[in-house]
Amino acid sequence: MKKKNPLSLWTYSYRKSYYILHPWKWFYDTYWNFRNWIHRANRGYAYVDVWNFCDWYPRVAAEALRYLAAHGSTYPGVKPWSTPEEWREYLYYLANRLQRCADSQTFMFGIERNEYAEAFDKMMTRAYHCTKDGDIVRAHFDMTDEDKELRDKYFARIKELQEADRAYDAETFRWIGEDIGRIWD
């Protein structure tokens, strides 16, 4: 199965079977697909690009660098790139960094790096309780002191990971800023 391009303007939010039962929703989504397509053709960006710029820009830049690496006909010829192969390798490396920058904008990116995640999930499942009082449902967590300590460690680690990701993003964009005058064909 062909992988969907995340930069495509032609997106539909629902399954095909949903549109069969809700044809007006299909017309509405198609209308916005055309609007985005025309807007990008006339201005270079679409409505959907702007509302998700933090994710869209690094993805576009990564794809552009990969294209330049694969199809480029020249290289800067200055240190540290003394051969076209070194330049291509650098472009692919920078594209992969940009892809990671885009991925890091998604919810729960890198949760596997949090060593407290599995224990935290189990604790939250165990501590969660619902009580019903007539028509009102109340959710609450019964946590012990150890559970609260685990919760605090989990969220402290999340903060550390987010700060590390922001530092990675800043370093990547600093590199682009330093080399922007050399990235052309």
State the pTM of this model.
0.80
User: Residue type for 135, please?
Assistant: D
- Please tell me whether the peptide bond between 58 and the residue prior to it is cis, using omega within 30 degrees of 0: no
CA distance linking residue 102 with residue 96, whole number of Å = 10
Nearest to 10 by CA among 30, 40, 38: 30
Average pLDDT for residues 112-122, to the nearest whole number? Answer: 94
Average pLDDT for residues 155-175, to the nearest whole number? Answer: 96
Q: Please list, residue by residue across 86-115, b when 16 or more beta carbons sit within 10 angstroms of its beta carbon and e when fewer do.
A: ebbebbbebbebbbbbbebbeeeeeeeebe
Average pLDDT, the chain: 91
Binned at pLDDT 50, 70 and 90, residue 94 comes out as very high
Binned at pLDDT 50, 70 and 90, residue 107 comes out as confident
pLDDT score at 2: 63
| DSSP code string of 25-89 | HHHHHHHHHHHHHHHHHHHSS-HHHHHTHHHHHHHHHHHHHHHHHHH------STT--SHHHHHH
pLDDT score at 30: 94
Q: Is the pLDDT reported for residue 143 higher than 70?
A: yes
110: left (phi over 0), alpha (psi -120 to 50) or beta: left
Which own/partner contact pairs does 67-72 have at CB distance under 8 Å and 24+ positions apart?
Answer: 68/183, 68/185, 69/95, 71/185, 72/185
